[in-house]
């Protein structure tokens, strides 16, 4: 959608407000283009629903009259159209964000009805981390099929940062030439402009140093650290392909993606006794509830070990099978 609300039954004033809100997210919250598109689609979709519901272009007057019934009808329609509960809940969250923003700028507008709405319940899927041995194998074998030594070293450096430091792929590929000689820690700016300090383990610093030594391109301080074959910034798709290749060679599941290495970082730290709050800071999660999902992974893994090893578990399973 190139223009906020373009083609939808929304009043010009409200369309402008939506556009201004999105512009603020781009400039102040440092939201990604994908996030901006999702917010725009969510809020514009609700306003279009509201217009069709009332039979006239949606404007501030219609927003003032929104009821819980309207909101439930909108969410029910979205579910009937095949949207997942998680997607509908995100749409309501986007709408609440817009309503708060509008209330700060529009005298007399009360967003309390929208803010009080409850989205559908949904269960978060558990992350699928690699085992510690599989993670080590990935770091050792990724891009073994590449002919170029410097490209192999590059891919090893990237995946080592994902697993060894818990970086997102966008964060690793956002590093610049000044990081070729890594210090003991990295200042990372993550989602929403949130900054964090990430310790750099020696193996990660060593992997980056090896890549920097072999790279045929000059790594300018303000230029990208990781380069593609022609010297431009490395495309994240190339790391995804490298992971596809190594998981086929090692017989790993399709869930062994670059992001699974970040999941593995968090899960293995937690399993080793890491503090949940500290892991939250290392990952750059805004909310502890986001990090707490890894406790579910650890519990699930513990139960798998229990079922495989405990004699009573086998006895119960055999009895249940009769």
Q: Which residues are catalytic?
A: 168, 191, 259, 262, 285, 294
Task: Provide the CA 182 distance to its chain's centre, in angstroms.
Answer: 25
Tokens of residue 114, six digits:
């929208």
Contact 266, 283 (CB under 8 A): yes
Contact 30, 24 (CB under 8 A): no
DSSP three-state, residue 141:
helix
Element (H, E) at 197: strand 195-199
Alpha helix (H) ranges present in the chain? 12-24, 33-54, 60-64, 68-80, 85-105, 112-116, 132-141, 149-165, 169-173, 202-214, 236-250, 258-271, 276-283, 288-291, 293-309, 311-321
- Nearest C-alpha neighbor of 241 from the set 105, 103, 145: 145
- For residue 222, give the DSSP letter: T
Which residues, in sequence order, are CB contacts of 33 under 8 Å at separation 6+?
Answer: none
Alpha helix (H) ranges present in 32-129? 33-54, 60-64, 68-80, 85-105, 112-116
């Amino acid at each position: 959608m190139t223009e906020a609300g373009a083609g939808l039954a929304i009043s010009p004033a409200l369309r402008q407000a939506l556009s201004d809100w999105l512009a603020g997210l781009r400039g102040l919250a440092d939201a990604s283009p994908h996030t901006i598109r999702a917010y725009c689609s969510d809020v514009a979709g609700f306003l279009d629903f509201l217009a069709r519901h009332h039979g006239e272009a949606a404007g501030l007057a219609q927003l003032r009259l929104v009821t819980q019934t309207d909101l439930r009808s909108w969410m029910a329609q979205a579910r009937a159209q095949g949207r997942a509960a998680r997607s509908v809940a995100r749409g309501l969250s986007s709408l609440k964000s817009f309503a708060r923003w509008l209330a700060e700028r529009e005298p007399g507008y009360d967003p309390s009805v929208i803010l009080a709405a409850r989205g559908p319940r949904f269960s978060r899927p558990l992350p699928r981390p690699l085992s510690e041995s599989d993670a080590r194998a990935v770091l050792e074998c990724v891009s073994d099929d590449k002919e170029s030594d410097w490209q192999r070293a590059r891919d090893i450096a990237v995946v080592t940062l994902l697993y060894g430091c818990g970086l997102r792929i966008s964060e690793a590929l956002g590093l610049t030439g000044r990081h070729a000689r890594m210090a003991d820690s990295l200042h990372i700016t993550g989602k929403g402009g949130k900054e964090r300090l990430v310790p750099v383990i020696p193996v990660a610093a060593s992997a980056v140093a090896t890549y920097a030594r072999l790279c045929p391109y000059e790594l300018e301080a303000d230029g990208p650290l990781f380069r593609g074959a022609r010297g431009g910034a490395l495309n994240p798709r190339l790391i995804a392909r490298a992971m596809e290749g190594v998981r086929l060679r090692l017989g790993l599941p399709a869930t062994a993606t670059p992001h699974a290495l970040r999941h593995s970082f968090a899960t293995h730290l937690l399993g080793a006794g890491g503090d949940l709050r500290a892991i939250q800071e290392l990952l750059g999660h805004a909310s502890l509830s986001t990090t707490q999902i890894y406790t579910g992974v650890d519990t699930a893994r513990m139960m798998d070990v229990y079922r495989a090893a405990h004699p009573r578990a086998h006895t119960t399973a055999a009895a249940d099978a009769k």
